[in-house]
Structure 1
Amino acid sequence: MAGKVRSLLPPLLLAAAGLAGLLLLCVPTRDVREPPALKYGIVLDAGSSHTSMFIYKWPADKKNDTGIVGQHSSCDVPGGGISSYADNPSGASQSLVGCLEQALRDVPKERHAGTPLYLGATAGMRLLNLTNPEASTSVLTAVTHTLTQYPFDFRGARILSGQEEGVFGWVTANYLLENFIKYGWVGRWFRPRKGTLGAMDLGGASTQITFETTSPAEDRASEVQLHLYGQHYRVYTHSFLCYGRDQVLQRLLASALQTHGFHPCWPRGFSTQVLLGDVYQSPCTMAQRPQTFNSSARVSLSGSSDPHLCRDLVSGLFSFSSCPFSRCSFNGVFQRVAGNFVAFSAFFYTVDFLRTSMGLPVATLQQLEAAAVNVCNQTWAQLQARVPGQRARLADYCAGAMFVQQLLSRGYGFDERAFGGVIFQKKAADTAVGWALGYMLNLTNLIPADPPGLRKGTDFSSWVVLLLLFASALLAALVLLLRQVHSAKLPSTI
């Protein structure tokens, strides 16, 4: 009997294995990838008011054809932007050391040599380069010397144009929101049909607006042609120098000194000593600069909590007197806004203050205007009681909110319907929205022009089904074996 059982066992196992092999041939395949190692990249965003370091990581299989680059970590450099070190270039380089030391820890040591490191400077350095190109060169030379001392693959420090800043911000936003290409639940890459979002960036010294357009721009200097993931994009972009938050505040301060002798955008009860040299040293306040003034003189200036005068002051920043094109935004700049937008940087921080700190609704343009008026009506004591712990920037939120509202409604011409398509966002996919990621993606060629290549494989769910069927075949074989054993025993007991 035992011999019979042993003789039955191999055929049954062979039958089960054969069944499993047939099932394996029937299992559907899909395009999958083996999990690759990680690569890293570092970008120093040298803005006008401060510098931030972003460390990105991505699977190292091939030019990012996995479609995902994520933010690994970040670091805020202490002090002002590198443009503020015009008289002390070595101070600019020294300010970066703390974050670079963090990068040594955050990036695995074995990856240091292959990690690209970039520094991109924006509007603050563009302004410095306009007024003092020698100082601008000295600052970049100093930071370059420091960056080359680290074991990363340093690939240069340069000043971005306003157009580059706008386009890279647009690429970042749409890349993170998976508007170029998306990895679907069925295990295949596909191009979403929802289209792209426009991008609005409000920095310290400039503001950028960028969006995809179907018609050629009347001003060809504002048009960029891109080819991403096998798709062609015609993009409108414009950067408004001197319309960043910090420069706007300086321009409003200069206007308040000359027009009122008090600041209508500051809260009543707030006063400070203003150094005239600080007010008029920027190229953005050059038109308001008196012919003669004492740069070392200090003037006492108080706030008045007057939203109507503040609105008038802000409106004076925009000129609508002439337009050489069929349609303009302001200052004679061609623009025909189209589509939905994501607004980030100081756009987000301003609206978030109104929404979160002040508890005010900002879902419509009318609500945004009412929120700005509400903040501008607050006294200094009321603001401090309502928002404790934000004393440093608190007095400027009225001016900032009024500027954002006026820029969107009068400057860019958003109506209520168009404003409903604007989302204010700080991050997407746990990654900061800004130009830095798009800059690195471009310089490392991490966004291919053509759709990513794929290979055949079997997905996880199919393997689960296969294993279950194989287990069922084995179980059936065992049951059959036990029945044969039981049948073999019966004659011997008669």
Structure 2
Amino acid sequence: MSTQYCQIIAPAVFLLLGIAGILLVVIPIDDMREPPQFMYGVVLDAGSSHTAMYIYKWPADKQNGTGIVTQHSECHVKGGGVSSYAGERGGAGRSLEPCLDQALKDIPKSRHHLTPLYLGATAGMRLLNISNPTESEKILNEVGSKLHTYPFDFRGATILSGQEEGAYGWVTVNYLLENFIKYGFVGHWLSPGRDTVGALDFGGASTQITFETADVVEDKSNVMELHLYGRDYHLYTQSFLCYGRDQVLRRLLAHLVKTQGAGPHVSHPCYPAGFNVSMKLDMVFDSPCTADQKPTPYSPQDPLTVIGTGHYQHCLGNMSKIFSFDRCSFSKCSFDGVFQPNVTGSFMAFSAFFYTHVFLQRTTGITVTSPTLLEGATHTVCTMSYQEMLEKAPEQKGRLQDYCAASVFIQVLMLQGYGFDELSFPRISFQRKAGDTSIGWALGYMLSLSSLLPGESMGLRKALRPEAWAGLIFLFVFLILIVSGYLLLKTCQKKDSDGII
């Protein structure tokens, strides 16, 4: 009986294996694309007042040569900017260690050696490079040596030009607004064909304006060409060194000392009434932005007491003096003899523009959407006493005295300098983040550099077409049922035969 079963089962098994083998050989096989791995990039934004680290990621395959980049994480370095460590050996490098250690955790270990690492220093280091180029070079070398000790692909520590800082900020703004590329309903990345948005950046030591224009840019130093997602962009960009928030406050105080005399007391119309502060003269004049305003004779350790008077008109008058609106060798200028075409389109203002805008709204209840409202809110803040400010924004205690001056500066810069009016000013939006991504130059820098980084081709694997798999499964099930039925029939016939005997 066992011989009879073997005579039935063995041929059935071999038949199935043979059919399956033949089908696997003759059925066509496709190359199936596997989802790409992520590439990562790290940018250290070494600003004038502090350093921030941003980690970005993008699929290894790129769209029209540029990565679809998203922010993965960020870390803010404690202490001042790297330029503040001038003369302190090793300090700048050590300050970066906690954030770099975080990057080791945030980026998969298998991608460490493939992850480009950049450090871009901005206006703080540009100023140090002017006043002490030797010290500037030492800091960059020291920071570079520190970054080389980490397992990333370190690509260099450099000082960005003002134009680069402005242009990369513009890239960030328009990328986050999906003006370059967006994910369509059909499941593909599409070019939305929208107009781009101008970028307004207000940092600690410089301010930038960047936008597309159809006008002829008369000063070619203001032109920057970018290639992103298969398109070329022609930009006007200008960076004003010494017009960042911290340096403007110093320049204003230096102007007051110069005009009132280097006595021990100076009245400050932009400081609120009821606020006084004492300092040494070198706190005012130890910057390249104020060096030409030093009184004669000058002793850096001489004491200075600054007394707030809270007078809007006097503040506006003195602030206007740090600009020069008289000289211009072009058909039109913004200020300080710098060419600028007329502002066109929408703009996004970020960094200190955003924080000042929020403060004005909180303390005055005015949402600044026009030149008239900007002037009204600024006037209201500048006539508040220090105690009134403290009651409205107690968490800003260490900065309250500076908001009147910052607001007046923005008023002069935006309206007289850049030329925003009742029609164009409402098209400015003030923002700090878009989604989970911080607005600044770092993302734009990473996007531009990602176009230079080699992409990885998508992984391929051999795979059957879905319809082929379905056919094979059906065939196997059908054969199993036929063979099982055949064997069951044979078994029943054998039992019937045994019963008859």
Fold shared, TM-score > 0.5 on shorter chain: yes
| SS of corresponding position for 1:113 | helix
Structure 1 residues 231, 378: CA separation in 2 closer, same or farther (over 3 Å shift)?
A: same
Map Cα deviations across residues 340-367 of structure 1 (whole Å, 9 max, x no partner): 1111111111112212354322111111
1:21-60 map, 5 Å: 35-60=35-60
**Aligned position for 2:333:** 328
Q: Tell me, which stretches of 5 or more residues in structure 1 are unaligned? A: 1-31, 455-462, 468-494
Q: 1:426 aligns with which of 411, 425, 432?
A: 432
**Aligned position for 2:403:** 397
| SS of corresponding position for 1:266 | coil
Alignment check: 8 A CA contact 2:201 2:207 kept: yes
Map Cα deviations across residues 324-351 of structure 1 (whole Å, 9 max, x no partner): 1111111111101222111111111111
**Aligned position for 1:364:** 370
**Aligned position for 1:292:** 297
Looking at structure 1, the residues matched to 141 and 41 of structure 2 have their Cα atoms a distance apart, in angstroms, of 22
When the two chains are superposed, the root-mean-square deviation of aligned CA atoms in Å is 2.4
**Aligned position for 1:167:** 167
| SS of corresponding position for 2:158 | strand
Q: Tell me, which stretches of 5 or more residues in structure 2 are unaligned? A: 1-31, 261-265, 459-465, 471-501
**Aligned position for 1:202:** 202
**Aligned position for 1:283:** 288
After TM superposition, the structure 1 stretch with the greater mean CA deviation from structure 2, 49-58 or 252-261, is: 252-261
Deviation at 1:34, TM superposition (A): 5.3
Alignment check: 8 A CA contact 2:66 2:451 kept: no
| SS of corresponding position for 1:267 | coil
Q: Letter of the aligned partner of 1:439 in structure 2?
A: Y
**Aligned position for 2:130:** 130
Deviation at 1:153, TM superposition (A): 1.0
Structure 1 residues 413, 89: CA separation in 2 closer, same or farther (over 3 Å shift)?
A: farther
**Aligned position for 1:157:** 157
1:411 aligns with 2:417: yes
Looking at structure 2, the residues matched to 103 and 354 of structure 1 have their Cα atoms a distance apart, in angstroms, of 36
Deviation at 1:116, TM superposition (A): 0.9
Looking at structure 2, the residues matched to 333 and 296 of structure 1 have their Cα atoms a distance apart, in angstroms, of 36
**Aligned position for 2:484:** none
**Aligned position for 1:71:** 71
1:9-24 map, 5 Å: none
**Aligned position for 2:388:** 382
Looking at structure 2, the residues matched to 113 and 203 of structure 1 have their Cα atoms a distance apart, in angstroms, of 33
Map Cα deviations across residues 354-397 of structure 1 (whole Å, 9 max, x no partner): 12354322111111111111111111111111111211111101
Looking at structure 2, the residues matched to 63 and 194 of structure 1 have their Cα atoms a distance apart, in angstroms, of 18
Alignment check: 8 A CA contact 1:229 1:447 kept: no
After TM superposition, the structure 1 stretch with the greater mean CA deviation from structure 2, 353-362 or 247-256, is: 353-362
1:177 aligns with 2:160: no
Structure 1 residues 69, 360: CA separation in 2 closer, same or farther (over 3 Å shift)?
A: same
1:438 aligns with 2:440: no
Alignment check: 8 A CA contact 1:257 1:263 kept: no
Q: Letter of the aligned partner of 2:74 in structure 1?
A: S
Looking at structure 2, the residues matched to 413 and 444 of structure 1 have their Cα atoms a distance apart, in angstroms, of 35
- Percent identity (aligned): 56
Alignment check: 8 A CA contact 1:43 1:440 kept: yes
Q: Letter of the aligned partner of 1:180 in structure 2?
A: F
Structure 1 residues 115, 356: CA separation in 2 closer, same or farther (over 3 Å shift)?
A: farther
Alignment check: 8 A CA contact 1:67 1:181 kept: no
**Aligned position for 1:61:** 61
**If you compute each CA radius of gyration, which structure gives the higher value, 1 or 2?**
2
Alignment check: 8 A CA contact 1:201 1:347 kept: yes
- Structure 2-normalised TM-score? 0.81
After TM superposition, the structure 1 stretch with the greater mean CA deviation from structure 2, 426-435 or 326-335, is: 426-435
| SS of corresponding position for 1:35 | coil
Q: Letter of the aligned partner of 1:235 in structure 2?
A: L
Looking at structure 1, the residues matched to 290 and 250 of structure 2 have their Cα atoms a distance apart, in angstroms, of 7
**Aligned position for 1:351:** 357
Q: Letter of the aligned partner of 2:379 in structure 1?
A: V
Map Cα deviations across residues 258-309 of structure 1 (whole Å, 9 max, x no partner): 3342111111111111210121111111231113211012211110111111
1:265 aligns with 2:287: no
Looking at structure 1, the residues matched to 410 and 89 of structure 2 have their Cα atoms a distance apart, in angstroms, of 33
Deviation at 1:187, TM superposition (A): 2.4
Looking at structure 2, the residues matched to 89 and 440 of structure 1 have their Cα atoms a distance apart, in angstroms, of 29
**Aligned position for 2:23:** none
Looking at structure 1, the residues matched to 239 and 33 of structure 2 have their Cα atoms a distance apart, in angstroms, of 40
Deviation at 1:62, TM superposition (A): 3.5
Looking at structure 2, the residues matched to 56 and 108 of structure 1 have their Cα atoms a distance apart, in angstroms, of 13
| SS of corresponding position for 2:272 | strand
Deviation at 1:178, TM superposition (A): 1.1
Looking at structure 1, the residues matched to 219 and 65 of structure 2 have their Cα atoms a distance apart, in angstroms, of 35
Looking at structure 2, the residues matched to 384 and 33 of structure 1 have their Cα atoms a distance apart, in angstroms, of 60
Q: Letter of the aligned partner of 1:419 in structure 2?
A: F
| SS of corresponding position for 2:340 | coil
Aligned length: 424
| SS of corresponding position for 2:195 | coil
Deviation at 1:446, TM superposition (A): 6.6
Alignment check: 8 A CA contact 1:67 1:182 kept: no
1:373 aligns with 2:373: no
**Aligned position for 1:302:** 307
Alignment check: 8 A CA contact 2:67 2:447 kept: no
Looking at structure 2, the residues matched to 224 and 423 of structure 1 have their Cα atoms a distance apart, in angstroms, of 24
Structure 1 residues 33, 420: CA separation in 2 closer, same or farther (over 3 Å shift)?
A: farther
- Structure 1-normalised TM-score? 0.82
Alignment check: 8 A CA contact 2:276 2:305 kept: yes
**Aligned position for 1:29:** none
Looking at structure 2, the residues matched to 444 and 233 of structure 1 have their Cα atoms a distance apart, in angstroms, of 17
